[in-house]
Structures are given as structure tokens and as C-alpha cells.
Structure 1
């Protein structure tokens, strides 16, 4: 390793082309989650999967992914960045073919686990590449490209999944990965920098720590999945959380005592990195939460199809793309703390704007909240990424990138569990309150529910007949669900706004240093 000169040489076209191949692989991995989610009922029907097992098609992928993400640094040291990416995208492509060829639930789950594990390394590998392949002055543009694709995939996923399933068949949800996978793997072999693998690191791996980490993360993921339905105090959820806590603490204790560790947890002692991880965690809540709440509302309250939902949600992606050039311009000229604070405050405003929905809310009312969130997203992604990775030496970046991206995924998992808990608990309460107000003859509530006023006024003080109750009950339930979803929007907005306080702990001058140690990955 050598110290970089004051003016580092700009990356050439071949470096950018290699980076583009990595971005293609990352985009595939993120898109895969979304396109499959929209078509789960079709897959369930085709393979005869029991309704209570259907969610495991997604959960199996997510558990494997969340275990793989923090291992990216270790795997990069062993295989090098180039061969890790080639191996990961090749396995992901092979697993996609296996998923498409599956004829049973068990076979599909096995391939999904392999697909999730290989896909999990692609996101942190790309963000590591930003700081390993490019000089400081080009990092903002590279981060923007990666960031746009990372958050654009969940936006276009629903409409893409719905269109593919309705136009072709569910098999093509997986087969669309094959051609891009082959192209990106071959392109990476040719274009990415060559380096020698370090097989000695693999021989020194702490296998017990690896098992403990896997148990901790998988137990936490399953607990978060089950908690909203079973209750946070149910025996299963409490036992899973206890397993996650014990295994996680033991893993941390063993890892901090070993050199080299399987995951470099000591990086969390760096204040900039720690605060950036907090921001990444909360951004995960906001990103995953908003892309979860909108389809839930549009499907269950408004009754839209997957294609219609995807078309409505495209607004966020368009606003994000339009803002990207401004984000790149400001990212290199404004203190990262100020940009991050502005981004998170704006994102919180956009989330709060969605908390005023009622049963009649649709595209028009959702337009401006999506615009605000889309504009804010790049300012919530670029500055925290710089805070997390921009000042670190090259040999610490892969591990740090894995932890940084893990925080976002954990935030998403915990956020969705909290959102489901709010919806499950608050919807019945809102329903009872609405029913009480209707019984008292509250005209404003009747208008909100959508009951014709002549019918409502005729029923005041009279017993409700069966036909009227059958008509009104779904309307009350829709409004109650909409109000519970509003509560969830407010919770996510409050958490996002609170995260900005962490920036107070970051020292001034969070600009990447040109004397950062640079090494070939």
C-alpha cells in the first residue's frame, strides 16, 4: 500500500465500465426482492404452497441476505473484490435459474437461500468499490449512481413484477436475472482490477463466531417477522429475541478478541462511522417502511392491482433521478453533516405528509409527499455514505461497508415489524372509535367514512338493519386501516427526524481526505 498523491489520477472508462457491471448485479439483487413480493399469490397457487408458508419465500431470501452482508469484508479479503463479485453474481444467476425450475416449496426455498446469500454481498461490495476504485473527486458521482440504483429498484419493482407475471409467467421473475448476470460476471472478469486472493485469511476464520453471527441475525429476522402477528411477548418471539441477544453478545465478545476478526466491529468506535450507521439504520426504516406502507394502503384500502400500485409509486423514483445531479453538485461542496441533516428533515416532512390519508386518498394526494421524499433520498444516502467510508483506510472499507449496509437492512426489518405492530394494534381501536361516533350521529365521521348522508340521517336513533351494517362495515374498516397506517407514517417520520440529533456528535469537516490510503482491492 502506498499513500495517494495530492492529486489522484481520475478513473478511466474501463474502471467506470467495471463499476457499471457491479451496479447491474446489485440492481438485480434488490429488484429480485420486490418483483417476487408482488407475485407471491401466483407462486403460491402454482406450487401449491400453504398460505401460512407463503411468506417464507421472501423470509428465506432476507435471512440469507442479512447474514451475508456483514461477511462482505471477510470475503473481500479472501477472494479480492473482483472475484467476490464474480462468484456472487454467478451463484445468484445460477440460483435464479434454480428458482425458476423449482416444482416444490422445499426446492424453491433452498434456491432462495442460496440466492439471498449471494445477493447479500453485492450491495456492500458496490459501495466498497466506490472508495476503492475512484479518487475522492469522483466518489460523489459513483456513490450517486450506486445510490440511485439501490433505491430505484424497490420503486420500479412492484410494477415490473406485476407486468412480468401478467404478461408471461412467474418463472420469468427469476429468469430476467440470467442475461444481466452473465453479462456482469463476464464484464467484471475483464474490467475489474486483478489482485491475489488471500487464502490464509480463510484458514484463520473463527467458525464458532460465524455460526453465532448466523444464529443471531436469523433469530432476530424471524422474531421480527413473527412479532406483529403473534405478539412481542409470545413465547416464540421472546425465545428468538433471547437467542439473538445471547448469540450476538457472544459473537461480539469473540470477534473483538480475535485478529483478524471475521467482522471488524472495532470500526464502530469511530464516531463518524457510528453516527453514519445510525443514519443508515433509520434510513432503512424510512425507505423500507414507505415502500411497504404505500402498497399496503393502495392494495387493501384502495383495491389497486400490483401494476397500478407500481405506476403510482414511480413518482418517488422520478423525483430521485431528477435530484441526483444536484445532490452530486452539493455533496462535494457542502459539509456532509449539513446535507445529511437537511435530507433527513426533508425526508421526515415527506413521511409526515402521508399521515393525512383517508379512505379516498389516491395518486393525486400521494403525489407531493412522494416528490418530497424522492428529493430527500439522495441527501439521506450520499452524505452518510461519505461520513461512514470516506475517511477510512482502504483495508477497512469492505468491512465497514458491510456493517453500514447491514444497518440499513436491519432498520428495514425492524421498521416493518414496528409498522405491522402499529397497524395490527391501532386499526381495531380506530374502528371502535369510528363506530362509536357513528352511533352518536356524528355527521363529520359519516362523511369521512363515505356513508350517504340521507341514509345516515335516516338511521340516527334507529336499530341498524343487516343490509346497512353489511354495507357500512367494510367502509369503517377501510377508514380504520387508513388511520392506523397514518399512525405508522407518523412513527416513521418521528424516528427519521430524531436521527438528525446524532449529527451533533460528528466532528466538523466530514470531507473525504485526499491523503486517505489507497490500495488495489
Structure 2
């Protein structure tokens, strides 16, 4: 086995190089995150064009998510063997090639294979973007680096459905993948120009084949279970039960193996660190709530309030306004402030937004929908930056890629879990509320009887009146179900504040993120 090289120390970037490097890394991250959501609204177009059912078409999303979830935690191990700059460059170039393959796909199997390839090569991109940015900025300006990273990570999931819907409606679905090509080419060229001489040391550690096989097994089983659970009615399906058991057993073996292996493929020992564990868990659960609601709100608007996909996207768009404006402010304030205060304020604002949404009625107007979305941008500006700085606080530079990869992996998995839980919980709560509402529909209820008589006077038959009442009850039940989830989300965000305060970020001249940046150098 080759001996580890001495750590390579690179000075911070300056001037135009710093600007170009930041833009290059941010473009790569934006392109990556955009692809996690851009295909969601285009499934009907893709399915129709390729001659498959919508249920088969959803594998376009699932295949990417599974491959991406498996490759993200491998970032630290791959970085040691390849080098962070070479790995980041390879991710961008292969992502562009896979995007081109997706757009050219003549059949569903070819498209799915291309999406698996795309998700796999995309994995290291986000964790390494954090590492490269932190190493590029002077210690005191490291929070600003994280603010640039956070803006792209927060805006892309909102922009994805809007852009995907517009492209599908006005051009054709292959272009949701082709748009990555010019962005990726620019990002790759700029990255190579700025970072090619700033690679990390390489250590040829043995390949942990058992750990890798177990990782693929449990993550793949869990991800497919989450994506297909709702369609297959969860644990009433033998397929879902088998996937769940496979995931649990493989995960148990994976944890034991990785904690005892000499060269683990995923460094689980990071969870022994208070800051890493507290920051990662708070960030991941918070992201799961955010992402679950990000899927739930447009779905409710489209299925029950009659909004088009584009209109629903426009309602969600204002969330980016304050996030873009305030993220740099957070980056400037963070070095002089305990990041736990900023994260706490962020979670309180999130709770306020979801509480406001829990007061919605079926007659809610666009203004009432937009106000909490606008305010949520304030919470988002203080969400990623302080929690990432807490998570990476005090880590030596050689552990940052592994820590960033593992933290992002947990966050992405929680996003998937949040989406599945919210959609299933909404169905169950809607059914419960519908049952309660229709029990009032009997001739012994004077209010119901008067309502039916009023409908009869308007020219509706008895059967039509009952049908209209049932339709109104269904809409009201969906509204009450969504309100329940908004209210619960508010409460969980309040409870998560306790997790933030179990951490003890290490203070330094440049703040917590500065410490991470210094180590990354």
C-alpha cells in the first residue's frame, strides 16, 4: 500500500480567481441540485413520448435518486484515491455526458440507465463544492463562501419544477437535460482554469468491497421503498416488506462492518463528534421538513385548488428573494456571532411560516399563499450556512470531504424520507377528515338537510346534491389534512432547536466556518 503524502497547503484565492472559482463551483452545484427536481413535472411528457405509463415514468426520478444517494457518502473515500479537484472535474464532465445521453434516450431503459449514470457521477459534486469553496477563501471570509454555496442549494429545488414545466410545455422534454450541457461546460472550463494546481494529497487505501456492497444494498432498497411505497400501498405490498427488511438487515451489517473495518468506505466515526452529529441531524431533519413541504404545497395547489404547474411554481418562487438577498448578510455576520443563534432564529421563522400556512382555508387567495413563502426566504438564509459551519467545526482538512459527503448523504436521505412521509400522511389525514365530514351527511342533521334543500331549489337533483356535497367534503378534507401537516412541521422545527444547542462550535478568529476553512487549506 502506498504511503500517504504530506498534506498539501494552498493559499486562499484572490481577486478575479476567487470570483471565477466561486461562480464555477456554484454553477456546478446549481446544475446538480436542479436535476433532482426538474424532471418531476415532466414525467407525463416523458412517459407519453416514450410510450410508457406514468408509473413507469416515475423511475426516471427514482433511478437518479438511488444512484445519487449511494455515491454521495463515497466522496471522502474517492477523494483520498483520486484527489478532490480531479474528482470534482470528473463529476462535472461525466454529468454533462450523462445529461446528453438522457436527452438522446430513444427508450425508457436507455433513459433509466443514463439517469443511474447521471446520479452516480453527481454524488461527489455537492460535498466537494463545499470543500473547494472553504479552501479558496481566507479564514475570515469562509462564512461568505458558505453563503454562496447555500444560495445555489436553496434556489435550485424551487427553480427546477418551474423550469422543467416551462421547457416541457414550450419546447420538448429532452431539453430539461440538454440545458445542463452549456452550464456544465462553462463550470468545467472555469474549474480547471482555477483549481487544477490546487489538488489534495492522494492515498491509495484498499477498496472496502464488503462495505460498498452493503451500502449499495441498504441505500438502494430504502430509496426504492420510499419512492414506490405510496404507489404500492406501503406494507400491504410484499415488495415493500421485502425491501424494508433488506434495508434494515443490510444497514445493521453495514454499521457494524464500517465501525470495525481498517479502511471503511464511509467514516461513521464522525458521529462520535458532538458538533458533527448535532449539526448533521438538525440540518437533515430540518431539510426533510422543508423538502417534504416543498413537494406537498404545489401538489395541494394543483390537485385541490385548480392551479397549473406553472402557477404553483410561481407561488413558490418568492422563497428565493430573501434567501438570495440575506445569505451574503448571514455570511458577513457569522464570524462575529455564535452560529447557534442564527440557526435558532432560522428555525423559529420556519415554525412561524408553517403555523401561518396551517391557518389556510379552501378560499385562500394568492396573496395569503405568497406571504409565508416570502418570509420563508428569511429562514432559508440562516439555515444551511450556520449548520454547515457547526457540522464542520474543528475538523482537520483531510476529514472535511468525508464529513461533508456523509452529512450531505444524511440530508438527501431525509429529504426523500420527508417527501414520502408527507405524501402518505396527507392521504391518511385527508381520508380521516373526509370520513368525519361525511358522517354529518344524514337526514337527521338539520344543517345538511337545509343545504341539500337549497341545492334542490337551484335545480340540482337529490343525487347531484349529494355528489356536490361529497366533492366539497373531499376538498375540505384535503385542506384540513394539509393544515395538520403544516402545524406538525411548525412544532417539529421548535423541537429541533434543542438539537442545535447540544453542539459546542469551536471559536476562532474567523468563526466556526473559518476554522473549517483554515483546516481545508
TM > 0.5: yes
Structure 1 SS opposite 2:436: helix
Alignment of 1:159-238 (within 5 A): 159-194=162-197, 201=204, 204-229=206-231, 230-232=233-235, 234-238=237-241
Quickly say closer, same or farther: Cα 1:441–1:372, change in 2 above 3 A: farther
Structure 1 contact 292–416 (Cα < 8 Å) conserved? yes
Structure 2 contact 293–419 (Cα < 8 Å) conserved? no
Query: How big is the shift at 1:9?
Result: 5.6
> Any gaps of 5 or more consecutive residues in structure 2?
1-5
Structure 2 SS opposite 1:332: helix
Match of 2:308 in 1: 305
Q: Within 1, Cα distance between the matches of 2:513 and 2:40?
A: 41
The equivalent position to 1:78 in structure 2, one of 78, 81, 84, is 81
Quickly say closer, same or farther: Cα 1:375–1:480, change in 2 above 3 A: same
Q: Within 2, Cα distance between the matches of 1:514 and 1:295?
A: 38
The equivalent position to 2:464 in structure 1, one of 461, 464, 467, is 467
Match of 1:427 in 2: 430
Give the RMSD, CA atoms, in angstroms. 2.6
Structure 2 contact 335–514 (Cα < 8 Å) conserved? no
Q: Within 2, Cα distance between the matches of 1:55 and 1:398?
A: 32
Query: How big is the shift at 1:456?
Result: 5.8
The equivalent position to 2:131 in structure 1, one of 112, 128, 133, is 128
Q: Within 1, Cα distance between the matches of 2:296 and 2:157?
A: 13
Structure 2 SS opposite 1:228: coil
The equivalent position to 2:414 in structure 1, one of 411, 414, 418, is 411
Query: How big is the shift at 1:454?
Result: 6.7
Query: How big is the shift at 1:386?
Result: 0.5
Query: How big is the shift at 1:265?
Result: 1.1
State the Cα deviation string for residues 439-477 of structure 1 (Å, max 9, x = none): 46576xx8xxxx9x87664669xx972222333333322
Quickly say closer, same or farther: Cα 1:519–1:368, change in 2 above 3 A: closer
Match of 2:3 in 1: none
Match of 1:488 in 2: 485
> Any gaps of 5 or more consecutive residues in structure 1?
none
State the Cα deviation string for residues 401-445 of structure 1 (Å, max 9, x = none): 0111112111111111211221121111111222233546576xx
Q: Within 2, Cα distance between the matches of 1:400 and 1:98?
A: 32
Q: Within 2, Cα distance between the matches of 1:478 and 1:466?
A: 19
Once structures 1 and 2 are overlaid, which stretch shifts more, 349-358 or 58-67?
349-358
Is 1:505 aligned to residue 502 of structure 2?
A: yes
The equivalent position to 2:281 in structure 1, one of 278, 282, 292, is 278
State the Cα deviation string for residues 297-356 of structure 1 (Å, max 9, x = none): 111011222211111111111121222233223222211111111111211221222122
Structure 1 contact 15–192 (Cα < 8 Å) conserved? no
Q: Within 1, Cα distance between the matches of 2:70 and 2:92?
A: 17
Structure 2 contact 275–393 (Cα < 8 Å) conserved? no
Query: How big is the shift at 1:374?
Result: 1.2
Q: Within 2, Cα distance between the matches of 1:508 and 1:116?
A: 33
Query: How big is the shift at 1:516?
Result: 6.3
Once structures 1 and 2 are overlaid, which stretch shifts more, 320-329 or 215-224?
320-329
Q: Within 2, Cα distance between the matches of 1:397 and 1:152?
A: 24
Quickly say closer, same or farther: Cα 1:468–1:384, change in 2 above 3 A: same
Q: Within 2, Cα distance between the matches of 1:424 and 1:438?
A: 21
Structure 1 SS opposite 2:318: helix
Structure 2 SS opposite 1:259: coil
TM-score, length-scaled by structure 1: 0.91
TM-score, length-scaled by structure 2: 0.91
Structure 2 SS opposite 1:376: helix
Structure 1 contact 426–484 (Cα < 8 Å) conserved? yes
